[in-house]
A and B are shown apart, each in its own frame.
Chain A
């Protein structure tokens, strides 16, 4: 028996790692006394399978985890999937909230393998709206966008362009990217996960590269929008959706339903988190 949960990760808790979140889930599931299925061997662990790893520091409205339950004991205890989001949200730390839970079929591919792309909204600091618009146009027009990426502790050159499926400056007052101080500008993007996932900072690296600025590795640092000529930095990044592809259609992993881009879920969740 396998249950797929969709949950958000917002606020201070964004500074925890994917591994930390996995451990929070394990503890919450045990506190809920769910009849977890465990791995075999000398060191049995609960069988949890997460979607694509979220970079530490990024928020998300669309995290997923598959939890395997012992079918016999689950039937005995009468596990009610509908009540699980509320129960487990109360047992998870502040900032992690479960939105939905459904029973899913056991599938050959893990969630992580099935995800083909992710939607993001970001707040960037250190540049104006017009500068960002120009950089977005330049990136979309480019055939290749070479950036440095870190892979297994080594720096490599990589072409970012094929991974950028969609990119736009966010509309004024849009969703998550609203910054009351007005120091930042919003960006929305859909980034492919194949052959590798793109991190928000890598996308910004690409924007710097096409703007003719020197691509630098030091821009994850503190935003200083007041400084003239400072380079853009990611002030806040939020994954708004993970997508899987089935029968040639882009689908949301939980319900298998087709979801158009740009739903209003982001706005709703951000209001709740603030």
Chain B
């Protein structure tokens, strides 16, 4: 492979943000390719700024490059101006390190984090100079792989991706490398033909966690409904189980987080606190497919933070997970980082994904000591009834206490996330969003003359492998009506801003999320008609999607809005995230009955399947739920709507209460002041 840099360089004077294409990040590896080495191009199918921080991709990049028989480089979707320049100059997709052509790699591996990037995946395969459909690829073409959360319904991309990899990638990536090496490295057999490719794919299909769609037959019944997806070979698994690493502590990656030359999203050191979440929010696919909870040991977190800050020069670290305040001893961990003398008191800590019932004044006081990072809470539902349906069991008083803690510690802006279009949602539930947000503004005004509360409202898209996978998504019209309800109700409230996601984009996401293999033709048509970067509002066009649906005899009603039935074959039934289907169905019935299910970390197991099926367990340092939480704490969960909210009458006196060893609960602080 020869570097394309001399041809790329002249293009960079005419495109926006040319540094997206130059590589040169701290942590970028200059690797040696050779006949005995499997070459991987890890591709994030969105812009460089969005893709570079992806931790999954960076972890695999390091693990592969530590192997003597693998060499990994990276690539990202060129923005539309660069793509046009590349196509007109005849330059294919290239890696950012060596500027090597994508088609020269043995493996093109895509990270799929969101459905609307699927058209970009097709575009990038095409830009690489590789046939878009797997069936048209020849022996020496790269093997096209995909991993990430979206592959738990692989069918819409089954015609384009040779190999899907389910679950945690840390272990399986090496197993895949060995299989590919056995077929691709060493002397090339003369007269290699497509049979060799089929043999390699079949060998890969025997690796646990790997789904090779070409090894499966799809059957439809007379009504055109999916009848089943079955393995074609005896040694191909009928149901593919995801991979799960038992102990996050064995995988302290990334060790050398990439530091980009240009500003990217999440531009900071990121250290993963734990993987998995068992809070059991029914809308949340991430929480369902990444079970069980596996915490990273606290001393390893501290080492990764201090080594990472030393190496990168960042002055901000994010402690990431699906619910960071649930980490055992989160307050001590945050305090330890901020008080570390090597940080010179200039390092700030941010905790994405904060649950309000685990956010305390102590935590608030710690994370704002250096500089105030943005604070976002996600009550998701506007009423207690709604939150019981979705199993986000936080009470009004939890939210108000958290917001009070934030305002009392000096924040003047708070962001709240909500979903609309949830199952059983009434207008009362929708308008409850404004009621909650309005009360938050009122709390803020007790501390500051002017505050801003932003309620960010997304339309709910039912996701596969969750209890809501059977739910028929709200129509565009219904979501738009609800947005208008909210906007009108919020208009008179000073200090409250409502932001919403475009209901049309929500519909397009719904088209792809639960589609079967026939949806591939729709995705392909959208791409062929120019529909790339569909998650970018300036590029998104719903007409491309509805036209393509219509051209293939499909409708929004059937693909998106229709409730699925219990006996229906779902396109992802042969794909397993460990969750028993009857557990999901029961949880769906519980949702409709407005019955909340507590977190199994702190209560007896109810056998969802994620631990028992794989012979693994939760790894948590503390068997005690976080302070202030209403889940598993013995608090009466049915009390939510009725608990009167008590406002604190005095402004904070500067020095807040010292955080105790177990963390100071907001409720306790409130009582002390009252």
Please indicate the chain B residues that have their CB under 8 angstroms from the CB of A222 in the complex: 10-11, 13-14, 85, 89
Q: Which of B13, B14, B262, B410 contacts A16 (CB 8 A)?
A: B262
- Shortest Cβ gap from A124 to chain B (Å): 13
Interface with A: B19-27, B200-208, B592-600, which one?
B19-27
Chain A CB count within 10 A is highest, among B13, B24, B370, B371, for B13
**Per-residue A-contact encoding for B358-372, CB less than 8 Å = 1, 0 else:** 000000000000111
A15 touches B371 (CB 8 A): no
* B263 at the A interface (CB under 8 A): yes
A20 touches B10 (CB 8 A): no
Q: Which of A31, A35, A42, A234 contacts B310 (CB 8 A)?
A: A31
- Shortest Cβ gap from A184 to chain B (Å): 12
- Shortest Cβ gap from A205 to chain B (Å): 15
* A246 at the B interface (CB under 8 A): no
Please indicate the chain B residues that have their CB under 8 angstroms from the CB of A16 in the complex: 19, 22, 261-262
B371 touches A44 (CB 8 A): yes
Q: Which of A19, A38, A93 contacts B26 (CB 8 A)?
A: A93
A94 touches B18 (CB 8 A): no
Please indicate the chain B residues that have their CB under 8 angstroms from the CB of A56 in the complex: 18-19
A27 touches B14 (CB 8 A): no
* A91 at the B interface (CB under 8 A): yes
Tell me the B245-296 residues at the A interface (CB within 8 Å).
259, 261-263
B26 touches A42 (CB 8 A): no
A30 touches B315 (CB 8 A): yes
Please indicate the chain B residues that have their CB under 8 angstroms from the CB of A26 in the complex: 313, 315
* Bound CA span A15–B48, Å: 14
A13 touches B18 (CB 8 A): no
* A163 at the B interface (CB under 8 A): no
B346 touches A43 (CB 8 A): no
**B368: nearest chain-A partner, CB-CB:** A42
* B312 at the A interface (CB under 8 A): yes
Please indicate the chain B residues that have their CB under 8 angstroms from the CB of A29 in the complex: 313
Q: Which of A38, A42, A93 contacts B24 (CB 8 A)?
A: A93
B12 touches A27 (CB 8 A): no
**B312: nearest chain-A partner, CB-CB:** A27
**B21: nearest chain-A partner, CB-CB:** A15
Q: Which of B13, B21, B262, B314 contacts A57 (CB 8 A)?
A: B13
* A223 at the B interface (CB under 8 A): yes
Please indicate the chain A residues that have their CB under 8 angstroms from the CB of B18 in the complex: 15, 56-57
Tell me the A17-67 residues at the B interface (CB within 8 Å).
17, 19-20, 23-24, 26-31, 33, 35-36, 38, 42-44, 56-57
Range for the number of chain B residues in contact with chain A: 20 to 34
B14 touches A30 (CB 8 A): no
Q: Which of B12, B312, B315, B346 contacts A15 (CB 8 A)?
A: B12
* A153 at the B interface (CB under 8 A): no
A220 touches B13 (CB 8 A): yes
Please indicate the chain A residues that have their CB under 8 angstroms from the CB of B311 in the complex: 31
A23 touches B263 (CB 8 A): yes
- Assuming A27-B312, A27-B313, is B13 touching A13 (CB within 8 A)? no
Please indicate the chain B residues that have their CB under 8 angstroms from the CB of A31 in the complex: 310-313
- Assuming A221-B13, A221-B14, is B19 touching A20 (CB within 8 A)? yes
**B309: nearest chain-A partner, CB-CB:** A30
**Per-residue B-contact encoding for A125-148, CB less than 8 Å = 1, 0 else:** 000000000000000000000000
Tell me the A81-126 residues at the B interface (CB within 8 Å).
91, 93-95
**B11: nearest chain-A partner, CB-CB:** A222
- Shortest Cβ gap from B559 to chain A (Å): 42
* Bound CA span A155–B558, Å: 51
A43 touches B313 (CB 8 A): no
* A214 at the B interface (CB under 8 A): no
Number of inter-chain CB pairs below 8 Å: 77
Q: Which of A20, A27, A30, A33 contacts B262 (CB 8 A)?
A: A20
* A12 at the B interface (CB under 8 A): yes
B371 touches A12 (CB 8 A): no
Please indicate the chain B residues that have their CB under 8 angstroms from the CB of A234 in the complex: 13
Please indicate the chain A residues that have their CB under 8 angstroms from the CB of B346 in the complex: 30, 36, 38, 44
A42 touches B263 (CB 8 A): no
Chain B CB count within 10 A is highest, among A17, A35, A95, for A17
B22 touches A13 (CB 8 A): yes
A17 touches B13 (CB 8 A): no
Tell me the A193-227 residues at the B interface (CB within 8 Å).
220-223
A13 touches B262 (CB 8 A): no
- Assuming A43-B371, A57-B18, A221-B13, is B314 touching A93 (CB within 8 A)? no
* Bound CA span A23–B314, Å: 10
Please indicate the chain A residues that have their CB under 8 angstroms from the CB of B22 in the complex: 12-13, 15-16
- Shortest Cβ gap from A182 to chain B (Å): 16
**Per-residue B-contact encoding for A165-195, CB less than 8 Å = 1, 0 else:** 0000000000000000000000000000000
* Bound CA span A221–B18, Å: 13
* Bound CA span A91–B259, Å: 12
- Assuming A17-B19, A94-B24, is B313 touching A220 (CB within 8 A)? no
* Bound CA span A99–B13, Å: 27
**Per-residue A-contact encoding for B301-331, CB less than 8 Å = 1, 0 else:** 0000000001111110000000000000000
Please indicate the chain A residues that have their CB under 8 angstroms from the CB of B13 in the complex: 57, 220-222, 234
B372 touches A42 (CB 8 A): yes
Chain B CB count within 10 A is highest, among A36, A43, A57, A222, for A222
- Shortest Cβ gap from B468 to chain A (Å): 40
B313 touches A20 (CB 8 A): no
- Shortest Cβ gap from A198 to chain B (Å): 18
**Per-residue B-contact encoding for A224-254, CB less than 8 Å = 1, 0 else:** 0000000000100000000000000000000
Please indicate the chain A residues that have their CB under 8 angstroms from the CB of B410 in the complex: 42
- Assuming A27-B314, A43-B372, A91-B313, is B19 touching A220 (CB within 8 A)? no
- Assuming A27-B314, A93-B24, A222-B11, is B261 touching A20 (CB within 8 A)? yes
Please indicate the chain A residues that have their CB under 8 angstroms from the CB of B85 in the complex: 222
- Shortest Cβ gap from A10 to chain B (Å): 13
Please indicate the chain A residues that have their CB under 8 angstroms from the CB of B315 in the complex: 26, 30
Q: Which of B10, B14, B261, B344 contacts A24 (CB 8 A)?
A: B261
- Shortest Cβ gap from B45 to chain A (Å): 23
- Assuming A20-B263, A222-B10, A222-B13, is B24 touching A13 (CB within 8 A)? yes
- Shortest Cβ gap from B432 to chain A (Å): 33
Tell me the B366-406 residues at the A interface (CB within 8 Å).
370-372
- Shortest Cβ gap from A147 to chain B (Å): 19
**Per-residue A-contact encoding for B138-174, CB less than 8 Å = 1, 0 else:** 0000000000000000000000000000000000000
* Bound CA span A38–B370, Å: 12
B24 touches A12 (CB 8 A): yes
Please indicate the chain B residues that have their CB under 8 angstroms from the CB of A94 in the complex: 24
* Bound CA span A42–B369, Å: 9
* Bound CA span A16–B20, Å: 9
Please indicate the chain A residues that have their CB under 8 angstroms from the CB of B12 in the complex: 15, 57
* Bound CA span A43–B85, Å: 40
**B25: nearest chain-A partner, CB-CB:** A93
Extra pairs beyond A16-B22, A28-B313, A31-B313 (7, CB < 8 Å) = A16-B19, A20-B19, A27-B313, A27-B314, A30-B315, A56-B18, A57-B18
6 interchain residue pairs of minimum CB distance:
A27-B313, A15-B18, A31-B313, A30-B313, A12-B22, A15-B19
Residue pairs across A and B with Cβ atoms less than 8 A apart, 26 shown, are A13-B24, A15-B21, A16-B19, A17-B19, A20-B19, A20-B262, A20-B263, A24-B261, A27-B313, A29-B313, A30-B313, A30-B314, A30-B315, A30-B346, A33-B342, A42-B410, A44-B346, A44-B371, A57-B18, A93-B26, A95-B24, A220-B13, A220-B14, A222-B11, A222-B13, A234-B13
Which residues from chain B sit less than 8 Å from chain A, CB to CB?
Answer: 10-14, 18-19, 21-24, 26, 85, 89, 259, 261-263, 310-315, 342, 344, 346, 370-372, 410
Which residues from chain A sit less than 8 Å from chain B, CB to CB?
Answer: 12-13, 15-17, 19-20, 23-24, 26-31, 33, 35-36, 38, 42-44, 56-57, 91, 93-95, 220-223, 234
